[in-house]
Amino acid sequence: MFRALYDWVLRMAHHRHALRTLAVVSFAESSFFPIPPDAMVIPMVIARRDQAFLIAGICTVFSVLGGMFGYAIGYFLLESVGAWVIELYHMQDKIGQFQTMYGEYGAAIILLKGLTPIPFKLVTIASGIAHFNFPLFVLLATITRGFRFFLIAALLKRFGAPVQAFIEERLNLFAWGFLILVVGGFVAVAYL
């Protein structure tokens, strides 16, 4: 299952709509979609190391734009869309605590959680709910998401061939590890 998906993403990295698809996934992940763009970024950079920084740049820009949409969901649509997303991720009991933490640690929360497997959409929506300073939110989101995606791109550009061989030899292990990180991020938010 993972081999077919991995091979498909590698092939799609050369498709004329690959960067547009990455942009859509990056935008959606920061506001409502559950799968992080890393699932596309890593194989795309491996397949197109010559475009590593373009891929990271597109991912960063659209992740921040999606984050702005997530912020708007929390700020303007809490009672409708925001409540649905919060309920979907079983965050009803945690959102008040999260808002309180924003009063003291908002900038650190955005910076740190933007680097982790904790779903960034929860950070963006919570930032809107907490009415966190919007220009500062955009700046911090750009820093944290840019750092994450450009670091991945730089490492894969530099060490791409050996990393590709290493990943392909252990594809199932990496795929299960990635799924565990994603699920673990949701669990950490819901129960910690």
- Cα 29 to Cα 122: distance, rounded to the nearest angstrom: 10
What is the pTM for the complete model shown?
0.78
Tallying the residues shown for the chain, one arrives at 192
Query: How do the domains of the chain map onto residue ranges?
Result: 2-191
Range from 28-32, 42-46, 110-114, 168-172 carrying the lowest mean pLDDT? 168-172
Mapping DSSP onto H, E and C, the string for 18-52 reads: HHHHHHHHHHHHCCCCCCCCHHHHHHHHHHCHHHH
Residue range 151-175, pLDDT digits in tens: 989 999 988 777 777 777 776 777 7
Name the packing angle between helices 38-47 and 2-12 (round to 10°). 60
Q: What is the pLDDT of residue 162?
A: 79
pLDDT tens, residue by residue, 66-122: 999 999 988 988 777 767 767 776 777 776 776 777 878 999 989 998 888 778 888
| Backbone phi and psi for residue 94, each to the nearest 5 degrees, phi listed first | -95, -20
Q: Are 128 and 73 in contact (CB under 8 A)?
A: yes
